[in-house]
Amino acid sequence: MKELNEVEKTTFIFSTHDPEVLKYAAKIVKIRDGMLVGQE
């Protein structure tokens, strides 16, 4: 997936609480109860 993102400019959207997955994210959007509560 990382190669597809870099070469093909493909966007992936994940929903996770796993810090091992989060560390690969270029951008993190936090949502609580359907509302945007933060971005990193």
User: Could you tell me whether strands 29-32 and 35-39 are parallel, antiparallel, or unpaired per DSSP bridges?
Assistant: antiparallel
For 1-40, write each residue's pLDDT tens digit.
889 999 999 999 989 989 998 888 989 999 999 999 988 8
Domain spans of the chain, in order of start: 2-39
Structure tokens at 11: 């966007």
pTM: 0.62
User: CB–CB of 17/11 below 8 Å?
Assistant: no
